[in-house]
Amino acid sequence: MPPHRPAAFPAARLRRLRRTNALRDLVAEHRLGAADLIWPVFIREGERIEEPVPSMPGVARLSLDMLVPAAEAAHSLGITTICLFPYTDQGLRTEHCEEAWNPENLTNRAIRRLKETLPGLSVMTDIALDPYNANGHDGIVREGEIVNDETVEALVRMAQAQAEAGADILGPSDMMDGRIGAIRQALEAGGHHNVAILSYAAKFASAFYGPFRDAVGAAGRLVGDKKTYQINPANRDEALRCVARDLDEGADMVMVKPGMPYLDLCRAVKDGFGVPTFAYQVSGEYAMLQAAAGNGWLDGEAAMLESLLCFRRAGCDGILTYFAPRAARLLAG
């Protein structure tokens, strides 16, 4: 049924319901809350370390002893999920990426520590090989080619190790073909029936990822680009096919990445599939807003909250954002 058409002016004055804060809140069509936010956190080895990421003002790599109180503070603000991204020691980055499934690697130790300390917090992980790869790619490289099937085998081992460590949500972000089905089958066979998969189903070969690669130490190692496995930004229909495939293979939730330049995809995924839909407000989006606010060109807090609300309006059930703790504090008043 088409939407109701309002009466003609002056019987209908649409500004009547915009007149006061109370009226605007009463008729707001979408709302933003702390529980809608997933906080991506960069972790590193060491003790008492809070190491700023220069290209992401306000973001730091945290040692595990600093991670726990930061997670406790975020949880107290109503943030229910954090996502871990490791800054791996350069000496552990190899052609075969064996550190990715080491039960004692940085991510798996962080999972266990968080689940022991904050059992009510959902811990999400990243499944891709770039933090462990000597070549900086999300997959294994053979003679200049990012090989699909061998990479999927490695990703399955990585997923199994993270599930054993206690992860609640696995986030395959690699964009290899067939990885969701292989991971789901391995989780079922291993008794990890309740581990959820939030697939980065529509991940584009974007220019907005640069600061993230700085944060995880992959930028200087990346050989070539990721255009043979991430989606061409021009391709909407291909992205929807990728979403359909991942859902068919066993994904519980799906992700659009980046976020703000791809709000049309967020809406199309939500309307087309009716599944839990997320977006990642990626490092480049964060850095742009922070830089503009730092130069006095934007009201930083207002722009931050507006950008997050727009994800909700576009159909997203939640947003991965580096702004999560700051936004949650503002939303709490």
Going by DSSP bridges, is the β-strand pair 60-63/50-52 parallel, antiparallel, or unpaired? antiparallel
The secondary structure of residue 94, as a DSSP letter, is B
Name the token pair of 117.
Answer: 């300390």
Query: Distance between CA atoms of 56 and 54, rounded to whole angstroms?
Result: 5
- The H or E element that residue 318 is part of is strand 318-321
According to the model, what pLDDT value does residue 219 have? 62
- Which residues on neighbouring strands pair with residue 210, listed in sequence order? none
Q: Is 280 helix (H, G, I), strand (E, B) or coil?
A: strand
Domain architecture of the chain: domains with CATH: 32-331 (3.20.20.70)
**For 142-167, what is each residue's pLDDT tens digit?**
998 999 999 999 999 999 999 999 99
Distances in Å between the Cα of 277 and the Cα atoms of 6, 64, 185, 196, 263 are: 32, 30, 22, 14, 12
Given 226, 227, 257, 270, the catalytic residue: 257
Instruction: pLDDT tens for the chain, 333 residues: list them.
Output: 677 787 999 888 889 899 999 999 999 999 999 999 999 999 999 999 999 999 999 999 999 999 999 999 999 999 999 999 999 998 999 999 999 999 999 999 999 999 999 999 999 999 999 999 998 899 999 998 999 999 999 999 999 999 999 999 999 999 999 999 999 999 999 999 999 999 999 999 999 998 887 777 766 677 788 999 999 999 999 999 999 999 999 999 999 999 999 999 999 999 999 999 999 999 999 999 999 999 999 999 999 999 999 999 999 999 999 999 999 999 998
With CA atoms as reference, report the closest residue to 115 among 68, 171, 175.
68
User: Is 257 labeled as catalytic in the residue annotation?
Assistant: yes
According to the model, what pLDDT value does residue 12 have? 87
Given 115, 203, 226, 227, the catalytic residue: 203
Are the CB atoms for 132 and 97 separated by under 8 Å?
yes
- Which residues on neighbouring strands pair with residue 82, listed in sequence order? 39, 123
Are the CB atoms for 137 and 130 separated by under 8 Å?
yes
pTM: 0.94
Name the token pair of 263.
Answer: 């709000």
User: Is 115 labeled as catalytic in the residue annotation?
Assistant: no
